[in-house]
A and B are shown apart, each in its own frame.
Chain A
Amino acid sequence: MSALGEGRRGGEGRERGESRKRGEGDRGDGGERLRRTAARALERLAAAGATGDVVLVEADSHEVRVRGDEIDFVKQARERALGIRALVRNGDGTRSATTSTSDLEDDAVDRMVDETLALARATAPDPAAGLPDGGFAEDLPDLDLLSPGDRGVSVEARIEEARRAEQAARTADPRIRNSEGSQASSDFGEIVYGNTSGFLGSYASASHGLYSEPLAEQDGAKQRDYWMTASRHLDRLEDAASVGRRAAERAVRKLGARPIRTCEVPVVFDELTARSLLAQMAGLVSGYAVYRHQSCWADQLGESVASELVTVVDDGRLPGGLGSKPFDGEGLPTGRKLVIERGRLQTWLLDSYSGRKLGMASTGNASRGVGGGPGVGATNLWIEAGDTSADQIIADTPRGLLVTELMGMGFNPVTGDYSQGAAGLWIEGGEIAHPVEEITIAGNFKDMMRRIDRVGSELLWIGSVASPVLRVERMTVAGQ
């Protein structure tokens, strides 16, 4: 899929997001060297009479793609980067600025600290700005984020995995005759965070993935789909052949897809598309969206916002979780919280800044990349599984739509207006009837959450967000 957007957040798509916060880890003295650099920058900030924090990441990654019988690409990288935030007290407020660089030589670091201070002094004092008031993480539990034995994995071994997935996809069905390829990746990272309040912590993590995207062809029409697996441990990835086969099954079942007539019906979101609803929910409960009036749930804290079947958990210390970390982007301990409990909105996700804006304490949800100051992010976020199997949910649907793919950015968080391109399978008499495409599904997000009337019994973890199959009792499906 390819997309064009206005990129409203102001960057040019160059910022390193949370997913890039991976580093080299405890190989050799990488961690020690990073900690020394962190300490140097913090000392220089303090010597200038300022406060602030630094984040360093070191990453070692490789990514391979096999297409058909051929290797498509092999990509390897080692990267390091430093992010600095300077906070300068001024009257009742604090001025702040952030900078980043990949030049970690001592004199470059000193220069960057000075530049950050100068930039901070140009901004306006903000009463809510500053480091957390205390409560930094003291225990740094082992969250099972890395198997040391995985470090030795060779590029050749990952090529072999991609090859197995690709062959499984290509041989799964005679209608699979082409593909965009199968891709395997391994990333190892070390993150160091320190601040002038005395906190200095680090952790190593890994992330491995395998992805396959075959094409099915019939009567001149082409369809593509994908399947993937991801884990912090190589031996917990779904088997490569299974990834390829499932990708192929998904592509083949789209053959013969057609639009349907415009109607209002129950809409079932599969495990992949339901994740996008959860990601949108995470945006609505972010402290920043709330104090900026950018959330249609902004005045709903403590109230019922979703069906009683919906319980949403955020847990930064889920063992082995792809969103797990022992401390957040401000050095505060991560933890488990119920965001929505049986439909009732229990908490916002907050860092210390958005917490102060709302008169609340941080929930340990500061996310911090090298390329900017703290923001709010979910850690591991999921909807608790219910007791109805996915098959039963379809059987319970006399006439409706199973959505397996969503397209576009048709969600307005301020109003909740939701309108997305979709493809999937038409359900008739509780059974899958035929594939559908070139349709949209629309409604208002607030109504959609209240109208969830079935929650599946299985959670699929292929990232830091997971949802069981969900059914929304009624939405507008636009077609012919």
Chain B
Amino acid sequence: MSADEATGSTALAFFRERFGLDERQLADSLGTALERQVEHADLFFEYSTQDSVSLEEGIVKSGSRHIEQGVGVRAQRGERQGYAHSDEISAESVQIAAATARAISDQSRDPGRVAVRAGAAGRDLYPVATPPTEVPVTRKIDLLGEIDRYARARDPRVREVMASVVSQYRHVLVAASDGTLAGDVRPLVRLNVQVIVGDGRNMEVGYQGMGGRYDLERLFEPDAWKPLVEEAVRLGTLNLDAEACPAGTMDVVLGPGWPGILLHEAVGHGLEGDFNRKRTSAFSDRLGERVAAEGVTVIDDGTLAERRGSLNVDDEGTPTRRTTLIENGVLVGYMQDRLNARLMGMQPTGNGRRESYAHMPMPRMTNTFMLAGPDDPEEILRSVSKGIYAVSFGGGQVDITSGKFVFSMNEAYKLENGRIGAPVKGATLIGNGPDVMQRIRRVGSDMALDPGVGTCGKDGQGVPVGVGMPTVRIDGITVGGTQG
């Protein structure tokens, strides 16, 4: 057996041992769902542990640990979906849920025999030596203590330090009526540092986080957490002296990495299969058309090792892959789950994701980024006579129908005659996705992925994602400052 096959079979063994699930029972439950006229049925089992310790006022006041387990059963017929879930994992609860989910169809039939088997495809993009939730809590507590002391020693203006370590370890198993049987074991770790700084006149907040699907040990390395703390302190103190941000339409240079949130909002959501199947997206029916400036290539890739947005298989059991969405400015692909792929006559792309067993899967992004271009980042900055250089962002949001999207800067500077000027206060940028993508004038050579902090919300479901981008220059985007 290759290391690749290990994750799927580990997950199956886990559910077999803990809940007595076996292939035959899974097939029986799918059979129950298929006693009505449905095209597809699937079962999604989950057992996940999450723990978190957080520090404030110099001490770790509390720790938490949560165990979430359950099963979701889905039946599909045409565009219809029936879904039932239970937090009890047993043959009986799965049968009840299957009988509920199939109620979207009122025509009976003989289901015949369903056989599920583990696929050969597989790999482990994120093996860990120790599950992060098994690392002794005292080590996490000690790390937070060190972070607190280091932050306070960095700058006397640091008033308050809040830091947390969050560890998650999830087992999932998918069985579907087409014979799919796939499992995954997903570690996820995250370190957050937030400081409140004050100079007696102003107060500000600085935040930095990092994480991914890797061994928690890595966060304990001073080479990992020290730069994180330094960055949080730098961002907070920088903004103490920030000037009011200008308001109006101007040229903006975005720094590399997390500003890739631009792509996530401006085009990413609009290229998810469900919105395009329903024709509610600003990008509907535009495959093959130019939707971005020449030189702009956008990829969604769920196969990057150890990244926060990566998955071995998606939550429908489809292996993830690298999907080109926009190639040299032309729209070439959508992100699909199975339902929307089937209805649109396309292939699933491994983007069927869900927050937990209590949610139905939807097409979602994994790691979405723009490929590097030819331009020297320094030279891009020098090319702007008057504008804004935005280095760091908070969050963003999009209306996929009108294409309008926003994202909020939290580190930005004035750009004057190609020189970086004074820092300006955080402000929201607003644009129209299809329009802004056409106004990308320069693409830098310094593509970078974000540090592993993104959580994407859609229809009330949060999933971890990644973004990335090189330095880019966009001409004419609206900056929501206060100085007219």
Contact = CB atoms under 8 A, between A and B. Distances in A.
Chain A bound to chain B: yes
B430 interface: yes
Contact of A408 (B60, B65, B192, B407): B407
A391 interface: no
A97 B462 contact: no
Interface in A1-29: 1-8, 10-15
A67 B278 contact: yes
Interface in A96-130: 96-103, 112, 115-116, 119-120, 122-124, 126, 129
Interface in B97-118: 100, 103-104
B190 A12 contact: yes
Nearest to B483: A476
Nearest to B455: A7
Interface in A389-443: 407-410, 412, 414-415, 417, 419-421, 423, 437-443
**Which of A179, A259, A293 has most B Cβ within 10 Å?**
A293
A224 interface: yes
B478 A97 contact: no
- Interface size class of chain B, counting residues whose CB lies under 8 Å from the partner chain: 35 or more
A2 B480 contact: no
B482 A408 contact: no
Contacts of B461: 13
Determine the main DSSP class of B at the interface with A: strand
B62 A224 contact: no
B412 to A, nearest CB: 11
Interface in A69-84: 70-81
Contacts of B168: 12, 14
Interface residues of A, number: 92
B65 A99 contact: yes
A430 to B, nearest CB: 23
Contacts of B160: 292-293
Contacts of B249: 262, 478-480
A263 interface: yes
Contacts of A409: 394-395, 397, 408
Given A124-B61, A293-B196, A294-B196, A3 B402 contact: no
Contact of B398 (A2, A257, A441): A2
Nearest to A83: B66
A472 to B, nearest CB: 13
B484 A262 contact: yes
B52 interface: yes
B417 interface: no
**Which of B53, B80, B399 has most A Cβ within 10 Å?**
B399
A264 interface: yes
A223 interface: yes
B480 A419 contact: yes
A2 B67 contact: no
Given A4-B455, A10-B164, A440-B428, A262 B399 contact: no
A275 B259 CA distance: 29
B406 A407 contact: yes
A103 B264 CA distance: 37
Determine the main DSSP class of A at the interface with B: strand
A132 interface: no
Interface in B160-210: 160, 162, 164, 166, 168, 188, 190, 192, 194, 196, 198, 202-205, 207, 209
B32 to A, nearest CB: 15
Nearest to A125: B59
Nearest to B55: A124
A294 B85 CA distance: 39
B86 interface: yes
A222 interface: yes
B209 A421 contact: no
A19 to B, nearest CB: 10
B296 interface: no
A457 interface: no
Contacts of B188: 12
A298 B351 CA distance: 44
Contact of B61 (A76, A96, A221): A96
Contacts of B79: 67, 70, 72
Interface in A195-225: 215, 221-224
Interface string A37-77: 00000000000000000000000000000010011111111
Contact of B395 (A5, A122, A224, A373): A5
Contacts of A408: 395-397, 406-408, 428, 430
19 contacts: A2-B400, A4-B261, A4-B457, A10-B52, A12-B188, A67-B278, A77-B86, A100-B64, A119-B65, A257-B402, A262-B247, A262-B248, A293-B196, A294-B196, A415-B204, A415-B425, A421-B428, A440-B478, A478-B249
Given A98-B64, A371-B66, A440-B479, 19 more contacts: A2-B398, A2-B456, A5-B395, A6-B395, A6-B455, A8-B207, A75-B360, A96-B62, A101-B67, A102-B88, A180-B280, A222-B401, A263-B484, A292-B160, A371-B64, A407-B404, A410-B408, A414-B205, A480-B478
Q: Top 4 A-B pairs ranked by shortest CB distance?
A: A13-B462, A440-B480, A5-B395, A421-B406
